[in-house]
Amino acid sequence: MKRIWRRFTIVVLITGCLFGTQGLLQSAESVQKTEWRAAATSVVITPEKSMWMSGYAARNKPSEGKVHDLFAKVLIIEDMNGQKVVIVTTDLIGITPALRDPIAARLESELKIPAAALLMNASHTHCGPELREGKATRRGLGGDRGAEAREYTQSLVKKIIATIGKTLPNLEPVTLKYSYGRAGFAMNRRLPTSKGVRNSPHPQGPVDQRVPVLSARRNDGSIMAALFGYACHNTTLSFYQFCGDYAGFAQEYLEADHPGMVALFMMGCGGDQNPYPRRTLDLAKQHGRALANAVEVALSVSQPRMIHGPLGVAMDDVVLEFATPPTREELLKQKERGNKYEKSHADRLLAQLEERGGIQIRYAFPLQVIQFGSDLTLVAICGETVVDYSLRLQKDLKTDLVAVENVEPIIWVAGYSNNVFGYLPSLRVLKEGGYEGVGAMTYTSYPGPFTDSVEKRVVSKIVELTKQARKAAK
């Protein structure tokens, strides 16, 4: 990168000599504007027919129409060296390996874009289609949900690959700017009570209400794309119509107010955060407006941080361990005495015992870091990431970089990325118990909670990857 930059600098100086100071300033500006190229595209991903929805186990019938369309959005950013990152955001409950893996493979084989440069994020809307298609997760769900989900996922893979292909030839010079706003409707939902943690508003609980915004601006000053984040479940709504919830409305409002701009919502570490109040369409719209307003504030700040390159990417698996799995006898008891969800959980684990001769005791998933020069560290974590990860990494990763380079870096932590397998609790959440640490496992095919090493393993892998990505981004 340095060699290319030097060549540009020489051109600027010569131009400056010929056209005086004014020429130098103009040329310096135009050089800066070619530091990045970017392109962004939206594609509608609303299922073409009624299908089972994802997010609430209690739903007892398939979808009935839509409030508005669901979208996948593609943002490709290329640095001066030609290295690209592809960010795909989606109005979906999660990202599954069946969705990401074939897209990553095609990018790698046909475009030579490494899997580490593909970030896929889900808004976690609870009014999107069912994506679980595996035999184990399908068991107990009933109906044709699995086959339907597989068919939908396959069409989505094709659609997203085609959209990436369509976006690539449109790369044009941009500047990248970062700033952030705030929105106040996310609140911690883990209320401590004498009977343990309850799912209820907890105003004193940890929260991350920042709205980070990365905007790509064309040479004429117009905004091509705004990637923005928020750490909060998309659970204002729980009905039977497809809808992007507050994040869907925020994107819709921003695109209406900025013709020609693609607005991409990237879910943060909102695993233990809910939008409050909730349950009506009007409230989802209000939260969407609040979030869109926070993005507008960020877009209008007079001194946004200019983001420079080059890009550096790093991705690797972290391996987590589950606590000692239940025995066959314990599972049989659970099947006998549990509620319907506990019963079907026991069924899935008994089937695992039968088919594999044992119960899964480890789970591996990828963690990812995308580094933009010495300016911005974008961390993407799998699973329903709780807010402690964002709050902790903001400090841990910043301290590390300040010590090394004496600059103030921006740390942006996205959850719900690349493989949303279930909840990823922090050690605090795990020890406190409740839904995100323990209870939610009943709805998966995992045997039970993770061990106490969960946070330590995730954070140390992210620190390692951040070092690699920062080295590559020099």
* Least separation in angstroms between CB 55 and Zn ion: 7
From 3-11, 298-306, 382-390, 450-458, span contacting Zn ion (CB under 5 A): 382-390
* Least separation in angstroms between CB 421 and Zn ion: 12
Q: Which is nearer to Zn ion, 375 or 384 (CB)?
A: 384
* Least separation in angstroms between CB 469 and Zn ion: 28
Residues 42-81 that bind Zn ion (CB under 5 A): none
From 70-78, 242-250, 384-392, 401-409, span contacting Zn ion (CB under 5 A): 384-392
Q: Which is nearer to Zn ion, 37 or 126 (CB)?
A: 126
- Nearest residue to Zn ion by CB is 384
* Least separation in angstroms between CB 411 and Zn ion: 23
* Least separation in angstroms between CB 352 and Zn ion: 23
* Least separation in angstroms between CB 384 and Zn ion: 5
Q: Which is nearer to Zn ion, 123 or 179 (CB)?
A: 123
From 11-19, 138-146, 292-300, 378-386, span contacting Zn ion (CB under 5 A): 378-386
Q: Which is nearer to Zn ion, 148 or 384 (CB)?
A: 384
From 138-146, 162-170, 383-391, 447-455, span contacting Zn ion (CB under 5 A): 383-391
Q: Which is nearer to Zn ion, 232 or 298 (CB)?
A: 232
SS (H, E, C) the chain: CHHHHHHHHHHHHHHHHHHHHHHHHHHHHHHHHCCEEEEEEEEECCCCCCCCEECCCCCCCCCCCECCCCEEEEEEEECCCCCEEEEEEECCCCCCHHHHHHHHHHHHHHHCCCHHHEEEEECCECCEECCCCCHHHHCCCCCCHHHHHHHHHHHHHHHHHHHHHHHHHHCEEEEEEEEEEECCCEEECEEEECCEEEECCCCCCCCCCEEEEEEEEECCCCEEEEEEEECCCECCCCCCCECCHHHHHHHHHHHHHCCCCEEEEEECCCCCEEECCCCCHHHHHHHHHHHHHHHHHHHHCCCCEEECCCEEEEEEEEEEEECCCCCHHHHHHHHHHCCHHHHHHHHHHHHHHHHHCCCCCEEEEEEEEEEECCCEEEEECCCEECHHHHHHHHHHHHHHHHHHHCCCCEEEEECCECCCCCEECCHHHHHHCCCCCCHHHHHCCCCCCECCCHHHHHHHHHHHHHHHHHHHCC
Q: Which is nearer to Zn ion, 130 or 384 (CB)?
A: 384
Applying CB under 5 A, what is the total number of residues that bind Zn ion?
1
* Least separation in angstroms between CB 124 and Zn ion: 6
Q: Which is nearer to Zn ion, 199 or 293 (CB)?
A: 199
From 29-37, 200-208, 365-373, 377-385, span contacting Zn ion (CB under 5 A): 377-385
* Least separation in angstroms between CB 422 and Zn ion: 9
Q: Which is nearer to Zn ion, 384 or 455 (CB)?
A: 384
* Least separation in angstroms between CB 127 and Zn ion: 13
Q: Which is nearer to Zn ion, 180 or 185 (CB)?
A: 185
Binding residues for Zn ion, rule: CB under 5 A, are 384
